[in-house]
Each structure stands twice: as C-alpha cells, then as structure tokens.
C-alpha cells in the first residue's frame, strides 16, 4: 500500500511551549484514523502540520510523498476542516463555490445533498451561522472535496445528535464508495469508534498510543465485586486502577480475558466488562500516566 | 497561472470590497465636493481664473489600501485552507490588486478627460486632476494612477502579512523600522549636506520619473511581502 502520511520526529514549538514533540507515525493507503487526546494535547497543531497550514520546528512531514506546504498540486489533494476556521465576509453559498473551484474532485451533487440534509441556508452570512451550522458547513466542504487526504478537526462542535449521526453515515457511505485517507480528531470517541480502523492518541504533544482500533476495544477489562475476590483476581495482572468502597471493589486490568479468566471471574462472583474505546483512552491519557507511551497490538 | 486566477476569483466573491465600495466611496466624495462647488458657484465665488483642487480623489487610493489589508487579514485563513500554497495565494492576490489598479487607473483617466472637457463639471472643479502627479497627458495620468493604486495595495498587503505572522508587536516593530530608516536617511542627508540634492531631485524629476520611482518601490514591496508570507501559518 502506498504511504499517504508520514511524520518523522515532528515538533512544533511556540515560545517555550512544545505543542507537538517527537511525533512519528505513518498512514498507508485508504483508512480512517481517529486522532484522540485531551484538550490542548496537540491534535489541532498536528492536523495543521499535515495540511501545511503550520510548519514544523523540527522533523519532517510528508503527505502523498511531498511537503504539504510546498506545491499547489499537492495542496489541492488535502482538505482540512477546522473547528475554528475563519471565513471572510462570505455567504454559505460563496464558501461552497470557492471550495468547489479549489478541489479538482469536488462533488457538486454530494454538496447539494449535504446542504439540504443539514438544512444549511445558502444565502446566509457565514458569520451569522450558529456554531453547529458552521460545523455543518465545514463537514460539507470536507466530504464534497473528495480529497485523497481528508482531515477533520473536531468536525462536529455544536452539532446535535441527529446531525452527528448524519455525518457518520455520510462519511461511511462516501468512504466506502471512494476510499481515501481520513483522519478525524474528536472527543466523542464512542460515537465514532465503529468507523475507526486505527487510533492515535496524542498526549501533551507526544503519541501516547498508536494501535488498530480492533485491538484496542476490549484490550482492558473492568472487574468489580466483593473486595477480597477482586484482590485475588487482579493479583499478578497489570492493573490500571483499583478502588475499594466498603466491602466492594472495582479494578481495571489491562488484559483481554480468555475463557479460563471468565470462568474464574464467575466463580468469584465478579462482574466483568470490556472497556470501551473511550474508557481505554481515558486511562491512557490520565495525568498520572503521563509519558508512559505504549503500543498495543501493532 | 490557473491557480493565480482561482485566488483572484476567490477574492472577487467579495464584490462589495473589490468592485463596488472603491467607486461608491469615490462617488460619495465626488457628490459632496460637487455640492460644495455648486453652492460656491451660486454665491459667485470660484468663478475667477484660479484653480480649485479638491484632492478628494485620494479616497479611492485610501480605500484600495484597505482592500489590500483585507486581502491578507480577513480573507487569508480560508484562502489558504483551499488548497493553494502561501506563494500562490500571495501572487494571485498581487495579480488581482494590480489588474484592478490598471482598470481603475483607466477609469480615473476617463473621468479626468470628462472633467477637462466639461471645464471642471461646469464649476471649475479639479477633482480628478491633482497638481503635478495627475495633471499631465492622459497616458501619464493612467500610468501614475495605476502605479499609485498598486503600490498602496501591495504596501497594505505587507502590513497585513506582518500582523498575521508576528501580531501587534510585530506590526509596531515593522512601522518603527520604517520610521527609523526614514529618520536615519534624513539625518544622513543633513550631515552630508545632501538636502540640496534631494530638493533638486524632487523639483526636477518629472511626474513620469516619480512614477518610475514608485513602480520600483512597489516591486520592492512585493519582494518583501513574498518573503513574509513564506513562513506564515494559519
């Protein structure tokens, strides 16, 4: 498969603050990657670096084999939809027209369909749109551009649940029809979990986790029940969290449980549940686990 | 070339800023001056042989400066998000500003021709004629107006780029450096007793010669803007 994105030792410094530090990863061929992390972790900076809107202080960013800030022909292959995109004094229709001129594979039909799906008023000034409507405009541009490298940064800030569902459905349908490299940064992890093939977790500018989404789901298990039974069960296992409240306890073990484990848990009257992607991420990026990078299943 | 045109087209989506307002503002200034001259005329003043210059044609030049500022401030983030490099965005914007300066210079020239033919709109008003710089043959008026508009547009674009790249402190430093350079030049001229030759230069240079100097400055401004946009981020 062809390499579409490659970052090698990439850093971006703002004064004394390292927004992105020593980031290295590659994306090959068509895929949907989730870029996850806490507020201020460096997600937006990383996406801007990939789109050539930001320039690295160190390291090398390559998209489709070239410098994303280097040539027009390459720049037209990349679309970045930003939560904080600033627009000139444009109406919605103007913004879409400008985007249509810019992207060689722009899909007018899809754009029109999305505009009516999201109920976007074409003749309204972009600055008069609500936050959710503005997000919808970004989504229309991001999907209709049909760019080989499509980057979404928090694409659905302010969008209601119905509109978010619409975005997932459209993204999936469009991706199935035109496979390409998609990177989505988001906080609503479990909503989009089913779409993701791969998960990149960024924490304080570092890649904290880089794993296939399937390997991550259920890669940790929550165990709860009588305190002594939990203590027996988790002994000898990597435990992320162990909490005791009166006679009861709960713990998180960084393991996928096999049949023997399951049977043993039942014997001890414990309830077990695999952690969702979101819960795995919360554990991976807790302050007390900072800089403890790990790679799961890759 | 195609990408430059797409940048120009992107800006022209804001018809108001680039096509309508420069002339609307000028028309307003013209109407105000016309009203003043008409009332003066009615009271018998201004009918003698002296020339009355208004200087208000400057409004379109000032507005074109503002248009240049908008190009590299308000319009820049989305423009750069639309798959063009910084260099293309900049050169496409310079191209549009310059092309419209050619057209607007021609417009000002035509209006000057009409003003001459109608003996100052019947009121001996010199609105589109400015002593020395916009007062020669039509082709020189066209050239000088075009270069003046292009210069202000490119100068303003550079201000906008400096602001976007280094914020307010950078912008203030940028202005301070210009003040220091001009001040140092004045001091140097004083120490070397060079004021006489500078005076001589400005009194003997023709409008065409001055236009040439301004064109040179414009080219330098474009080079400066291009070097500033290279590492700009949005």
The residue-averaged pLDDT of A95-102 equals 94
Q: What average pLDDT does chain B have?
A: 92
Same domain, A188 and A245: no
Say if residue B184's pLDDT is above 60. Answer: yes
**Which pLDDT tens digit goes with each residue over B127-149?**
999 988 898 899 999 999 999 99
pLDDT at A13: 94
Task: Write the DSSP string, chain B.
Answer: -HHHHHHHHHHHT-HIIIIIHHHHHHHHHHHHHHHHHHHHHHTTTT-SS--EE--TTHHHHHHHHHHHHHHHTTSHHHHHHSS--HHHHHHHHHHHHHHHHHHHHHHHHHHHHHHHHTTIIIIIEESS-BTTTB-S-HHHHHHHHHHHHHHHHHHHHHHHHHHHHHHHHHHHHHHHHHHHHHHHHHHHHHHTT-HHHHHHHHHH--HHHHHHHHHHHHHHHHHHHHHHHTT---
Q: Are B17 and B67 in contact (CB under 8 A)?
A: yes
Lowest mean pLDDT among A210-219, A287-296, B36-45, B98-107: A287-296
A155 within some domain: yes
pTM here? 0.89
Give the range of the structural domain holding residue A263, as residue numbers without chain letter.
221-274
Q: Are B81 and A53 in contact (CB under 8 A)?
A: yes
Q: What is the CATH number of the domain that holds A193?
A: 3.40.50.300
Say if residue A292's pLDDT is above 50. Answer: no
Say if residue B42's pLDDT is above 50. Answer: yes
Say if residue B49's pLDDT is above 90. Answer: no
A281 within some domain: no
Question: Per DSSP, what are the bridge partners of residue B53?
Answer: B126
Give the range of the structural domain holding residue B73, as residue numbers without chain letter.
2-229
A283 within some domain: no
Selecting from B9, B77, B82 the residue whose C-beta is nearest the C-beta of A86 gives B77
Selecting from A72, A79, A87 the residue whose C-beta is nearest the C-beta of B84 gives A72
Same domain, A16 and A135: yes
Say if residue B187's pLDDT is above 70. Answer: yes
Chain A positions touching B86 (Cβ under 8 A) are: 69
Selecting from B78, B80, B84 the residue whose C-beta is nearest the C-beta of A87 gives B78
A70 within some domain: yes
**Which pLDDT tens digit goes with each residue over B1-24?**
778 889 999 999 999 999 999 999
Selecting from A82, A89, A102 the residue whose C-beta is nearest the C-beta of B82 gives A102
State the total domains in chain B. Answer: 1
Question: Which pairing describes strands B52-53 and B125-126: parallel, antiparallel, or unpaired?
Answer: parallel
Say if residue A290's pLDDT is above 70. Answer: no
Say if residue B47's pLDDT is above 70. Answer: no
Same domain, A62 and A129: yes
State the total domains in chain A. Answer: 2
ipTM attached to this prediction: 0.87
Chain B positions touching A84 (Cβ under 8 A) are: none
Chain A residues with CB under 8 Å of a chain B CB are 48, 51-55, 69-72, 75-80, 82, 85-90, 94-95, 97-99, 101-103, 147
Say if residue A295's pLDDT is above 50. Answer: no
A92 within some domain: yes
Q: How far apart are alpha carbons A156 and B193 in whole angstroms?
A: 67
pLDDT at A237: 86
Same domain, A170 and A269: no
State the nearest Cα–Cα gap between B6 and chain A, in angstroms: 7
B234 within some domain: no
Indicate the residue among A216, A249, A265 that finishes a domain: A216
Q: How far apart are alpha carbons B186 and B194 in whole angstroms?
A: 9
Question: Per DSSP, what are the bridge partners of residue A202?
Answer: A207
CB atoms A90 and B9 under 8 Å: no
Q: What average pLDDT does chain A have?
A: 89
Question: Which pairing describes strands A3-14 and B125-126: parallel, antiparallel, or unpaired?
Answer: unpaired
CB atoms B233 and A48 under 8 Å: yes
Same domain, A125 and A108: yes
CB atoms A86 and B78 under 8 Å: yes
Same domain, A209 and A268: no
Selecting from B78, B83, B233 the residue whose C-beta is nearest the C-beta of A54 gives B233
The residue-averaged pLDDT of A223-235 equals 90
Same domain, A70 and A99: yes
CB atoms B6 and A95 under 8 Å: no
Chain A positions touching B234 (Cβ under 8 A) are: 48, 53
Same domain, A119 and A252: no
pLDDT at A296: 38
Q: How far apart are alpha carbons B121 and A134 in whole angstroms?
A: 50
């Amino acid at each position: 498969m062809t390499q579409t994105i490659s970052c090698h030792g990439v850093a971006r410094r703002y004064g004394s603050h390292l927004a992105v530090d020593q980031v290295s990863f590659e994306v090959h061929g068509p895929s949907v990657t989730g870029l996850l992390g806490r507020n201020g972790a460096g997600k937006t900076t990383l996406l801007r670096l990939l789109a050539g809107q930001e320039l690295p202080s160190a390291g090398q960013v390559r998209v489709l084999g070239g410098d994303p800030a280097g040539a027009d022909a390459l720049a037209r292959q990349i679309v970045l939809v930003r939560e904080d995109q600033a627009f000139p004094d444009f109406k919605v229709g103007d913004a879409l027209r400008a985007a249509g001129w810019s992207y060689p594979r722009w899909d007018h039909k899809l754009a029109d369909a999305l505009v009516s799906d999201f109920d976007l008023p074409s003749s309204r000034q972009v600055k008069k749109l609500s936050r959710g409507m503005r997000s919808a405009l970004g989504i229309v541009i991001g999907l209709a551009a049909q760019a080989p490298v499509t980057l979404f940064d928090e694409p659905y800030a302010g969008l209601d649940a119905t509109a978010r569902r619409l975005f997932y459905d459209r993204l999936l349908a469009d991706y199935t029809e035109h496979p390409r490299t998609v990177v989505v940064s988001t906080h609503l992890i479990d909503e989009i979990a089913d779409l993701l093939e791969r998960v990149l977790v960024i924490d304080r500018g570092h890649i904290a986790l880089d794993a296939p989404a399937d390997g991550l789901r259920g890669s940790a298990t929550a165990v709860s029940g009588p305190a002594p039974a939990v203590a027996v069960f988790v002994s000898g296992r990597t435990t992320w969290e162990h909490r005791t409240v009166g006679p009861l306890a709960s713990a998180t073990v960084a393991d996928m449980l096999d049949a023997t484990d399951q049977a043993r848990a039942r014997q001890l009257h414990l309830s077990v549940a695999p952690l969702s992607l979101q819960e795995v991420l919360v554990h991976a990026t807790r302050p007390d686990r900072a800089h403890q990078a790990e790679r799961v299943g890759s | 070339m195609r990408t430059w045109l797409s940048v120009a087209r992107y800006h022209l989506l804001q018809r108001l800023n680039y096509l309508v307002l420069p002339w609307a503002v000028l028309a307003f200034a013209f109407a105000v001056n016309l009203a003043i001259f008409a009332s003066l005329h009615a009271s018998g003043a201004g009918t003698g042989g002296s020339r009355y210059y208004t200087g208000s044609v400057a409004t379109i030049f000032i507005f074109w400066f503002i248009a240049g500022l908008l190009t590299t401030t308000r319009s820049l983030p989305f423009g750069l998000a639309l798959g063009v490099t910084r260099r293309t965005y900049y050169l496409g914007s310079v191209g549009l500003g310059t092309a419209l300066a050619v057209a607007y210079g021609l417009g000002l020239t035509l209006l000057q021709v009409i003003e001459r033919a109608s003996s100052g709109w019947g009121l001996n008003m010199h609105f589109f004629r400015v002593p020395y710089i916009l007062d020669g043959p039509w082709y020189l008026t066209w050239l000088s107006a075009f270069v003046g508009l292009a210069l202000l547009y490119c100068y303003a674009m550079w201000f906008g780029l400096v602001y976007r790249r280094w914020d307010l402190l950078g912008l203030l430093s940028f202005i301070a450096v210009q003040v220091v350079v001009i001040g140092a030049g004045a001091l140097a001229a004083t120490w070397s007793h060079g004021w006489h030759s500078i005076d001589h230069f400005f009194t003997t240079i023709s409008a065409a010669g001055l236009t040439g100097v301004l064109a040179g400055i414009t080219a330098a401004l474009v080079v400066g803007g291009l070097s500033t946009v290279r590492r700009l981020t949005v």
